[in-house]
Amino acid sequence: MLFLASCGNESDSDKAADPPVADASEGSADESTEESVPETPESADAGSCAYAPDGTTPPKTVDPPSAEPAKAQKVPLVLKTSVGDLNLTLDAVKTPCTVNSFTALAEQGYFDKTQCHRLVTEGIWVLQCGDPTGSGAGGPGYAFADELSGSETYPAGTVAMANAGPGTNGSQFFLVYKDSLGLPPNYTVFGKFDAASIRIVQKVAKAGTVEGGPDGSPKKPVEIQSVTVR
């Protein structure tokens, strides 16, 4: 679905530094068109969130999040994966609607038994997850607006949403395991993961991709087994 903007199966000609994208179509991130990108959700009333149907059928049946996000706070959670536990802290103060969606999906088991489908080891350094189909084209069946300040940066330890353009956030997200400061401020930063977790993802990156290039499926598989709010 998304990488930093949209994710599809990458061809050999795709550039390694292509941003994380979550593409609603079956094409690659570079093939997104206006027709394949859901309309940007309308802004909700102050203090509420809008999750608009995007016209796709989700690979796992889930209920959209409540329009009323939980109390703004830091949300610690654990991604239990096949390569180790990743400790995240989500920021519901700065990104309440994004965290509201992520935790709602986690509570419904949406991320359970899903593969992180994309690894980039050159230009940008990210592991992309959140698509139950493992193709880069899957999402929860709804989209929601970006929560951006315009000054976003992506140092190691950043957790951010992948998208296929403005207002196309769904379920796909990426973990930055090495400073990727060349990325444009187009991707909602909604949390961080700790130093021990960064090292775990770096070991995955060191193994490279199945395809042998700098952008593809991680050679060392990463399955999200469960997501637990601590």
In this prediction, residue 35 carries a pLDDT of 30
In this prediction, residue 71 carries a pLDDT of 87
Q: Is residue 35 part of a domain?
A: no
pLDDT in tens, 50-69: 999 999 999 999 999 999 99
Q: Is residue 37 part of a domain?
A: no
pLDDT in tens, 72-115: 899 999 999 999 999 999 999 999 999 999 999 999 999 999 99
Q: Are strands 142-143 and 52-53 parallel, antiparallel or unpaired?
A: antiparallel
Q: Is residue 14 part of a domain?
A: no
Mean pLDDT, the chain, whole residue set: 86
Q: Is residue 127 part of a domain?
A: yes
Q: Comparing C-alpha atoms, which of 9, 35, 39 is closest to residue 21?
A: 9
Q: Is residue 152 part of a domain?
A: yes
Domains in the chain: how many in total?
A: 1
In this prediction, residue 34 carries a pLDDT of 31
In this prediction, residue 27 carries a pLDDT of 31
User: What are 196's two structure tokens?
Assistant: 């021990």
For residue 158, the one-letter residue type is T
In this prediction, residue 95 carries a pLDDT of 98
Instruction: Say which CATH number the domain at 102 has.
Output: 2.40.100.10
What is d(CA 198, CA 157) in angstroms, rounded to the nearest whole number?
6
Output DSSP code: residue 195.
H
Q: Is residue 46 part of a domain?
A: no
**Cβ-proximal residues to 124 (8 Å cutoff; 6+ apart), any chain:** 4, 16, 17, 19, 20, 154, 176, 180, 182, 183
Q: Which domain holds residue 75?
A: 2-9+51-59+71-229
The per-residue b/e assignment along 30-58, b for 16 or more CB within 10 angstroms, e otherwise, is eebeeebbbeebeebeeeebbbbebebeb
pTM equals 0.85
Cβ pair 194, 157 in contact under 8 A: yes
In this prediction, residue 9 carries a pLDDT of 36
In this prediction, residue 21 carries a pLDDT of 65
Residue 58 to residues 22, 61, 130, 132, 207: CA-CA distances in angstroms? 13, 6, 12, 9, 31
Q: Report residue 125: phi and psi, to 5°.
A: -130, 90
Q: How far apart are the first and last CA of the chain?
A: 28
Q: Is residue 173 part of a domain?
A: yes
